[in-house]
Amino acid sequence: MPTIHTLRPNVSREEAILHFSGGLPGWLRRTTLGPLRLLADVYIPFHLFRIDISNRGRAETRFLGVEAVTGSLDPYQFERIPDSAAAVLIDTHNSLEPRLNEKRAAQLSIEKTRRLLFDRGFFRMRDLQITATYTSETLYVPYWVGFHGSSSRARLSVIDAIRRRIEGIKVRTLLQDWLQQDGSGLPA
Protein backbone atom coordinates (compact mmCIF):
# COMPACT_ATOMS: atom_id res chain seq x y z
CA MET A 1 0.00 0.00 0.00
CA PRO A 2 1.59 3.31 -1.07
CA THR A 3 2.21 6.08 1.44
CA ILE A 4 1.17 9.52 0.25
CA HIS A 5 1.48 13.08 1.57
CA THR A 6 -2.05 14.54 1.65
CA LEU A 7 -3.74 17.68 2.84
CA ARG A 8 -5.72 17.20 6.04
CA PRO A 9 -9.41 16.96 5.03
CA ASN A 10 -11.96 19.53 6.22
CA VAL A 11 -14.89 17.16 5.60
CA SER A 12 -15.27 14.03 7.73
CA ARG A 13 -16.79 10.77 6.50
CA GLU A 14 -19.97 11.46 8.51
CA GLU A 15 -20.28 14.96 7.02
CA ALA A 16 -19.82 13.54 3.51
CA ILE A 17 -22.55 10.93 4.08
CA LEU A 18 -24.88 13.64 5.37
CA HIS A 19 -24.01 15.87 2.43
CA PHE A 20 -24.70 13.10 -0.10
CA SER A 21 -27.91 11.79 1.48
CA GLY A 22 -29.36 14.45 3.81
CA GLY A 23 -31.72 17.34 3.28
CA LEU A 24 -33.13 18.63 0.01
CA PRO A 25 -29.81 18.24 -1.91
CA GLY A 26 -29.61 14.61 -0.74
CA TRP A 27 -33.20 13.98 -1.78
CA LEU A 28 -32.52 15.47 -5.22
CA ARG A 29 -29.37 13.36 -5.55
CA ARG A 30 -31.29 10.18 -4.57
CA THR A 31 -34.02 11.04 -7.06
CA THR A 32 -31.65 11.67 -9.98
CA LEU A 33 -28.72 9.35 -9.23
CA GLY A 34 -30.24 6.73 -6.95
CA PRO A 35 -29.48 5.93 -3.32
CA LEU A 36 -25.98 6.26 -1.87
CA ARG A 37 -24.46 2.76 -1.99
CA LEU A 38 -20.84 3.39 -1.12
CA LEU A 39 -18.61 6.22 0.03
CA ALA A 40 -14.86 6.19 -0.55
CA ASP A 41 -12.01 8.58 0.04
CA VAL A 42 -9.88 9.16 -3.06
CA TYR A 43 -6.69 11.20 -3.38
CA ILE A 44 -5.67 13.16 -6.48
CA PRO A 45 -2.01 14.24 -6.87
CA PHE A 46 -1.01 17.88 -7.35
CA HIS A 47 2.56 18.94 -8.19
CA LEU A 48 3.54 21.91 -6.05
CA PHE A 49 5.29 24.90 -7.66
CA ARG A 50 6.80 28.08 -6.35
CA ILE A 51 5.50 30.83 -8.64
CA ASP A 52 7.50 34.06 -8.88
CA ILE A 53 5.59 36.93 -10.46
CA SER A 54 7.02 40.23 -11.59
CA ASN A 55 4.37 42.76 -12.57
CA ARG A 56 4.76 46.54 -12.85
CA GLY A 57 8.11 46.31 -11.09
CA ARG A 58 6.68 44.48 -8.06
CA ALA A 59 7.64 40.95 -7.08
CA GLU A 60 5.24 38.42 -5.62
CA THR A 61 5.64 34.76 -4.66
CA ARG A 62 2.89 32.16 -4.52
CA PHE A 63 2.68 28.43 -4.27
CA LEU A 64 0.43 26.66 -6.73
CA GLY A 65 -0.66 23.05 -6.90
CA VAL A 66 -1.28 21.72 -10.42
CA GLU A 67 -3.23 18.49 -10.77
CA ALA A 68 -0.65 15.91 -11.82
CA VAL A 69 -2.72 13.35 -13.76
CA THR A 70 -4.09 15.33 -16.71
CA GLY A 71 -3.55 18.95 -15.63
CA SER A 72 -7.21 19.74 -16.28
CA LEU A 73 -8.47 20.49 -12.76
CA ASP A 74 -8.48 23.90 -11.10
CA PRO A 75 -5.22 24.69 -9.31
CA TYR A 76 -4.77 24.97 -5.57
CA GLN A 77 -3.18 28.18 -4.28
CA PHE A 78 -1.14 28.28 -1.08
CA GLU A 79 0.54 31.11 0.79
CA ARG A 80 3.36 28.73 1.74
CA ILE A 81 4.21 25.06 1.42
CA PRO A 82 1.79 23.13 3.67
CA ASP A 83 3.41 22.06 6.92
CA SER A 84 2.71 19.07 9.20
CA ALA A 85 -0.37 20.82 10.64
CA ALA A 86 -1.96 21.07 7.18
CA ALA A 87 -0.72 17.78 5.67
CA VAL A 88 -0.41 14.18 6.84
CA LEU A 89 1.09 10.92 5.62
CA ILE A 90 -1.38 8.10 4.96
CA ASP A 91 -1.31 4.62 3.47
CA THR A 92 -3.96 4.07 0.79
CA HIS A 93 -4.67 2.30 -2.48
CA ASN A 94 -7.22 4.96 -3.41
CA SER A 95 -4.78 7.41 -4.94
CA LEU A 96 -4.25 8.26 -8.57
CA GLU A 97 -0.76 8.04 -10.01
CA PRO A 98 0.85 11.26 -11.23
CA ARG A 99 1.33 11.09 -15.01
CA LEU A 100 2.12 14.69 -15.84
CA ASN A 101 5.85 15.30 -16.12
CA GLU A 102 7.49 18.20 -14.31
CA LYS A 103 8.10 20.26 -17.46
CA ARG A 104 4.49 20.09 -18.68
CA ALA A 105 3.18 20.76 -15.16
CA ALA A 106 5.43 23.86 -14.93
CA GLN A 107 4.02 25.15 -18.23
CA LEU A 108 0.49 24.59 -16.95
CA SER A 109 1.27 26.35 -13.66
CA ILE A 110 2.44 29.43 -15.58
CA GLU A 111 -0.66 29.35 -17.82
CA LYS A 112 -2.99 28.94 -14.85
CA THR A 113 -1.25 31.73 -12.93
CA ARG A 114 -1.51 34.04 -15.94
CA ARG A 115 -5.23 33.27 -16.20
CA LEU A 116 -5.72 33.97 -12.47
CA LEU A 117 -3.90 37.30 -12.79
CA PHE A 118 -5.84 38.31 -15.90
CA ASP A 119 -9.09 37.56 -14.06
CA ARG A 120 -8.12 40.31 -11.59
CA GLY A 121 -7.76 42.77 -14.45
CA PHE A 122 -6.00 42.58 -17.79
CA PHE A 123 -5.10 46.27 -17.76
CA ARG A 124 -3.25 45.88 -14.45
CA MET A 125 -0.59 43.80 -16.20
CA ARG A 126 2.60 45.47 -17.39
CA ASP A 127 5.94 43.79 -18.03
CA LEU A 128 4.48 40.57 -16.61
CA GLN A 129 6.97 37.77 -16.00
CA ILE A 130 6.06 34.46 -14.39
CA THR A 131 8.47 31.68 -13.48
CA ALA A 132 7.59 28.32 -11.98
CA THR A 133 9.97 26.23 -9.89
CA TYR A 134 8.98 22.70 -8.95
CA THR A 135 9.26 22.23 -5.18
CA SER A 136 9.94 18.50 -5.70
CA GLU A 137 6.79 17.77 -3.74
CA THR A 138 3.62 16.08 -4.89
CA LEU A 139 0.76 16.72 -2.53
CA TYR A 140 -2.46 14.73 -2.67
CA VAL A 141 -5.86 16.38 -2.26
CA PRO A 142 -8.61 14.30 -0.60
CA TYR A 143 -12.04 13.86 -2.19
CA TRP A 144 -15.12 11.97 -1.02
CA VAL A 145 -16.69 9.93 -3.81
CA GLY A 146 -20.30 8.81 -3.47
CA PHE A 147 -21.39 5.85 -5.54
CA HIS A 148 -25.11 6.03 -6.27
CA GLY A 149 -27.49 3.72 -8.05
CA SER A 150 -29.98 0.95 -7.72
CA SER A 151 -28.80 -1.34 -10.50
CA SER A 152 -25.50 -2.56 -11.88
CA ARG A 153 -24.62 0.95 -13.11
CA ALA A 154 -23.03 3.27 -10.58
CA ARG A 155 -23.10 7.04 -10.80
CA LEU A 156 -20.60 9.24 -9.03
CA SER A 157 -20.86 12.41 -7.04
CA VAL A 158 -17.75 14.00 -5.59
CA ILE A 159 -16.97 16.42 -2.76
CA ASP A 160 -13.64 18.22 -2.50
CA ALA A 161 -12.74 17.44 1.11
CA ILE A 162 -10.66 20.63 1.41
CA ARG A 163 -12.83 23.26 -0.29
CA ARG A 164 -16.09 21.64 0.90
CA ARG A 165 -17.74 21.84 -2.50
CA ILE A 166 -19.43 19.46 -4.91
CA GLU A 167 -17.20 18.85 -7.91
CA GLY A 168 -18.30 18.84 -11.52
CA ILE A 169 -17.71 16.87 -14.65
CA LYS A 170 -13.90 17.32 -14.79
CA VAL A 171 -13.30 15.54 -11.50
CA ARG A 172 -15.98 12.91 -12.11
CA THR A 173 -14.52 12.11 -15.55
CA LEU A 174 -10.99 11.90 -14.13
CA LEU A 175 -12.17 9.47 -11.43
CA GLN A 176 -14.33 7.40 -13.81
CA ASP A 177 -11.38 7.03 -16.19
CA TRP A 178 -9.17 5.98 -13.28
CA LEU A 179 -11.69 3.42 -12.03
CA GLN A 180 -12.14 1.93 -15.48
CA GLN A 181 -8.42 1.92 -16.26
CA ASP A 182 -7.07 0.88 -12.88
CA GLY A 183 -8.92 -2.39 -12.60
CA SER A 184 -8.37 -2.64 -8.85
CA GLY A 185 -11.39 -0.40 -8.16
CA LEU A 186 -12.69 0.86 -4.86
CA PRO A 187 -12.96 0.61 -1.95
CA ALA A 188 -9.68 -0.21 -0.33
Indicate whether 158 belongs to any domain. yes
Indicate whether 8 belongs to any domain. yes
Indicate whether 17 belongs to any domain. yes
Residue of 80, 28, 27, 24 whose CA lies nearest to 50: 80
Indicate whether 140 belongs to any domain. yes
Indicate whether 187 belongs to any domain. no
User: What's this model's pTM, rounded to 2 decimal places?
Assistant: 0.87
Question: How many domains does the chain fold into?
Answer: 1
Indicate whether 171 belongs to any domain. yes
Indicate whether 27 belongs to any domain. yes
Three-state DSSP class for residue 6: strand
Instruction: Please tell me the number of Cα atoms within 13 Å of 97 on its side-chain side.
Output: 8
pLDDT tier, 185 (very low <50, low <70, confident <90, very high otherwise): low
| Span 74-121, pLDDT tens digits | 999 988 888 888 899 999 999 999 999 999 999 999 999 888 887 766
Note down the domain range covering 35: 3-182
Indicate whether 188 belongs to any domain. no
